[in-house]
Structure 1
């Protein structure tokens, strides 16, 4: 999918702030972050350790509450939702992929893939078949997570996250547990499927090499967006 300035904005972050108390002192992690992601666009979020990348991702996902500012996911203000509303948002409109694969060990690959879409009432058999084929999982559907390699497990995690056709896919160091060749392969698949589904994609990464493969790079430094590389 070609990204143009006319593509709808799926994520709009404005003036976001977040502080934590540590050893009796207030630490400002985010100090007024502004960020947008459009439909079909892939954005790498980079920055040194402690710059607030994972904090920002968790706030967008509604896993934590911001101190100030606003997060809008399409027409929904994440900041104004209740805990139940944020859980519903994660279930129906967000895909989440982490460094740890977080698959359900007692379920087969196939059942892991359809888990979220069935709970959300958004299971699409045709899209499921396409995901299985594109992720190269056809021969592994009856296996359990422990019978898969790390790369295969992360493919399942990506498929599960995209099965609901979310508005936005959030990924926190999704290739951190993979070797370089597998990381390249898994990320290429993710980019292809994001473009195919038309959702936005925001990925936290320490890797400048992987960041450069996405449409845009956003650098977070000292709690603010310091640079944008298109």
Structure 2
């Protein structure tokens, strides 16, 4: 991480526990993490180590038990539901293993969905995204008419169309074969670099993790 760059994300002493069969399970036991502007970070860890939980807390999709999450100077742990929804709409890009596209919308409208809601629709940028992602010839198709790799490209394009400050990706290539995963991740890296946004990507692949700027590991509820 470059010391003189702005810190986009700061996570301090974050804790989260769940109850299973009446027993408390500590998933996160005091996680600390900082990500600088433009930095691309891979997060790995064993299954069940809390990787997805951490991303969901950062995105405001779940609430931490303790600790702080600061996003570009905004302490999001203090935000209400409306504030969290605004944060996700305007400043965060979210990409999951499940593509979460809207079946009734065309590729063009899926790509533009978040940026239109945020009031930051940029037709020229959207056209560039579609071209770079290899989707320019599929804009009038619907998700069911696309391959898995193409659907994930739409999901990535939708997240980047709003030009977020931070892209959170949870196993974005988990449903893709190795060659397609490599291609999709390479495109994501390039587009993230072009927009200047930061990237935090959960992956099970140490090979893919090695292609990003920094690789961190979650183990026993802590960043190793």
* TM-score for the superposition, normalised by structure 2: 0.98
- Residue 181 in structure 1 maps to residue 194 in structure 2: no
Query: Aligned partners of 1:27, 1:135: CA distance in 2, in Å?
Result: 41
Task: Give the equivalent residue in structure 2 for 1:114.
Answer: 112
Query: Aligned partners of 1:191, 1:61: CA distance in 2, in Å?
Result: 20
Structure 1 residue ranges without an equivalent (≥5) = none
TM superposition shift of 1:170: 0.3
- Of 20, 23, 26, the residue aligned with 1:22 is 20
TM superposition shift of 1:7: 1.9
Task: Give the equivalent residue in structure 2 for 1:127.
Answer: 125
Matches within 5 A, 1:92-111: 92-111=90-109
TM superposition shift of 1:5: 2.4
TM superposition shift of 1:93: 0.7
Tell me the SS of whatever aligns to 2:204: coil
- Of 41, 47, 54, the residue aligned with 2:45 is 47
TM superposition shift of 1:185: 0.1
* Deviating 4+ runs (over 6 angstroms): none
- Residue 11 in structure 1 maps to residue 17 in structure 2: no
Task: Give the equivalent residue in structure 2 for 1:69.
Answer: 67
Query: Aligned partners of 1:38, 1:160: CA distance in 2, in Å?
Result: 23
- Of 152, 161, 164, the residue aligned with 2:162 is 164
TM superposition shift of 1:4: 3.2
TM superposition shift of 1:132: 1.2
TM superposition shift of 1:18: 0.5
TM superposition shift of 1:25: 1.3
Query: Aligned partners of 2:147, 2:68: CA distance in 1, in Å?
Result: 39
Matches within 5 A, 1:196-215: 196-215=194-213
- Of 81, 84, 102, the residue aligned with 1:83 is 81
Structure 2 residue ranges without an equivalent (≥5) = none
RMSD of equivalent CA atoms: 0.9
Task: Give the equivalent residue in structure 1 for 2:140.
Answer: 142
TM superposition shift of 1:42: 0.7
Q: Deviations over 1:108-128 (max 9, x none)?
A: 000000000000101112211
